[in-house]
Structure 1
Amino acid sequence: MNIKKISSRYTVKILDEEDIVDVYNLCRHNEQYYRYCPPFVTEESIKNDMIACPPGKTLSDKYYVGYYDGDKLLAVLDLILDFPNERTALIGFFMMDLKCQNKGLGSSIVSELSEALRKEKIDAIQLAWVQANPQPESFWHKNGFIETGDISHMDNYTVVIAQKNLRSN
């Protein structure tokens, strides 16, 4: 997948260790996210997230990317292809810069990503949000994600699994 083609509006690049400070500075201002989904972000947790893969997946399936407007990091996305099954993409993490929220930018990123994945023959996108946190639930519903009925219990919280189908039946 050519990651640079998932947005016509922003520059998208694979993030690496040189970008950890920028990712940290974006994430640390989103205190509400970490209140519902602890622990609070650290540079070490970002480094670990950059290489974390679900069972059976490798870094060749993973795209830990940043969306840039010029040299300003606006959003971070962790995307795994063909997970949890073939022709499904998993958004493991998506966070907008706090100053960019509630302006439609996140929705435009999700819309462009959905179209790019559809062109890559991906049939659905799956993700999860913390059950008690109304902000991501509202955002993902607005962007066409529907609860699958599955939940997953983590150590300190429960997540709701949701999916957006990219193909009409």
Structure 2
Amino acid sequence: MKLATLQAELPSFKIRLLTMADQADLLALEQTNPDYHQQFSPNELSWAEIQDDLTAHPGEIEAAQKQVFGFYLANHLVAVLDILNQYPEQDFLFIGLLMVGNPYQRRSVGSVIATGLMKAALKSNIHCLQLTRVSSDTVVEAFWKKLGFDDGDQLFLPLADNGRLAVTTMTRVLA
């Protein structure tokens, strides 16, 4: 996804690719959503996890296919979008994370970003968006269903403490 294409669809935000230099801002944003992190780990959010958020990707894809966009209002990071281009298939875009800072939740920020992403995806010849969500998170389920995503398979992610987390794939075919 080209930054310029996404920016054109979301002119109210200043959007830029996040790098390791943005770790402190990303940590601050993620700390406003402690419930999300606690689904994956009982430990406090760490710098190593923030670095993984910026760089980790499935082994079968190139590092360049991963992009982490930061969305700014008044020079303040208010949301992050982690995507994998051409994954799991050529004309797909996989949403690894869309997180809106707690002070900006329930103000349509997430919906505006997701809708802009869908428009930018179509302009980029992407015809399907896919993601996984924590199966038990009914708020996230309702958010994505409102945007036209449908539930798919349930999978289990291994957790660091030898546990497993049930996740559900969701897909939206773009017209």
The one-letter amino acid paired with 1:159 is V
Greater alpha carbon shift after TM alignment, 1-10 vs 90-99: 1-10
- Structure 1 CA distance, aligned partners of 2:48 and 2:19? 13
Scaled by the length of structure 2, what TM-score is found? Answer: 0.89
The one-letter amino acid paired with 1:2 is K
Query: 1:93 matched to which residue of 2?
Result: 97
The one-letter amino acid paired with 1:106 is G
Query: 2:78 matched to which residue of 1?
Result: 74
SS at match of 2:112: helix
- Structure 1 CA distance, aligned partners of 2:60 and 2:139? 31
User: Which deviations, in whole Å up to 9, do the C-alpha atoms of 1:100-157 show, x marking residues without a partner?
Assistant: 0001111000000000001100011000110111121111111111112x11111231
Query: 1:26 matched to which residue of 2?
Result: 29
Match of 1:46 among 34, 37, 50: 50
SS at match of 1:91: strand
- Superposition deviation, residue 59 in structure 1: 2.1
- Structure 1 CA distance, aligned partners of 2:88 and 2:59? 9
The one-letter amino acid paired with 1:55 is G
Task: Indicate conservation of the 8 Å contact 2:5/2:123, yes or no.
Answer: no
- Superposition deviation, residue 25 in structure 1: 0.5
Query: 2:3 matched to which residue of 1?
Result: 3
- Superposition deviation, residue 38 in structure 1: 2.6
Greater alpha carbon shift after TM alignment, 95-104 vs 44-53: 44-53
The one-letter amino acid paired with 1:73 is L
- Structure 1 CA distance, aligned partners of 2:30 and 2:4? 22
The question of 1:160 aligning with 2:173 is answered: no
Q: Which runs of 5+ in 2 are unaligned?
A: 159-163
Q: Which runs of 5+ in 1 are unaligned?
A: none
Task: Indicate conservation of the 8 Å contact 1:15/1:66, yes or no.
Answer: yes
Query: 1:37 matched to which residue of 2?
Result: 40
- Superposition deviation, residue 36 in structure 1: 2.5
Scaled by the length of structure 1, what TM-score is found? Answer: 0.92
Task: Indicate conservation of the 8 Å contact 1:4/1:11, yes or no.
Answer: no
- Superposition deviation, residue 76 in structure 1: 0.7
Match of 2:88 among 84, 90, 99: 84
**Aligned Cα RMSD in Å?**
1.3
- Structure 2 CA distance, aligned partners of 1:23 and 1:157? 24
- Superposition deviation, residue 34 in structure 1: 2.1
